[in-house]
Amino acid sequence: MKKAQIIELAKQSFYINESAYKKLDTYLASLSKHYQDKEVIKDIELSLADKFKARLKDANSVLDETDVSAVITELGTVEDITGEVETEAKPTGSKKQFYRSKQNAIVGGVASGLAGYFGIDPLYVRIGLVISVLVSFGTTLVLYLVLWMVLPEAETGADERLMLGKTATLKDIEQTLKTKVKEVKQSGANGFLRTTFETTFKVFGIIYKLVLKLVGAGVFLASLAAIAGLTAGMASLVAGDVNVYYAGALVDFPSRFVDYGLLVSVWLLAAVVICLMAYMGMSLLRSKQVLRGGMAAILVGLFVIGLSAAIAFGSNTYDRYQRAVDTSPTMREVALDEFEHVSIANQVDATFIESDEYKVVLTANNFVLDNLDLNIRNGYLYLHNNSNNYLCLLDCNDQLQATVYVPKLETLTLSDQSSALFKSYLTVKNLVISDQSRVDAALADIDQIVIQDQSVLNATVKASGVSLTLTDQSKAILKCADLQWLKLVERDQANVNAGECLAEEIHLDLDNQSHAVLSPTDKLEVINTDKDSTYSFVR
pLDDT computed for residue 58 by the predictor: 79
* Phi, psi dihedrals of residue 93, rounded to the nearest 5°: 80, 5
pLDDT band at 290 (very low <50, low <70, confident <90, very high): confident
Q: Write down the architecture of domain 337-537 according to CATH.
A: 3 Solenoid (2.160)
Rounded Cα–Cα distance for residues 502 and 65 (Å): 106
Structural contact between residues 462 and 441, judged by C-beta atoms closer than 8 angstroms: no
> Long-range contacts for 41-45 (Cβ within 8 Å, ≥24 apart)?
42/10, 43/157, 43/173, 43/176, 43/177, 44/75, 44/170, 44/173, 45/9, 45/10
pLDDT computed for residue 345 by the predictor: 94
For the entire predicted model, the pTM comes to 0.50
Residue 387 CA: distances (Å) to CA of 148, 260, 364, 374, 475:
48, 24, 11, 13, 29
Q: Which of 202-216, 237-251, 270-284, 499-513 has the highest mean pLDDT?
A: 499-513
Of 133-142, 180-189, 220-229, 243-252, the least confident:
180-189
Range 98-119 burial, b when 16+ CB lie within 10 A, else e: bbbbeeebbbbbbbbbbbbbee
Rounded Cα–Cα distance for residues 274 and 268 (Å): 10
**CA torsion angle 463 455 399 381 (round to 10):** -50
pLDDT computed for residue 162 by the predictor: 67
- The residue extents of the domains of the chain are 4-82, 110-172+185-212, 213-324, 337-537
pLDDT computed for residue 422 by the predictor: 96
Of 51-60, 196-205, 321-330, 348-357, the least confident:
321-330
**Which alpha helices (H) appear in 106-190, and where do they start and end?**
110-118, 122-135, 139-150, 157-164, 170-186
pLDDT band at 87 (very low <50, low <70, confident <90, very high): very low
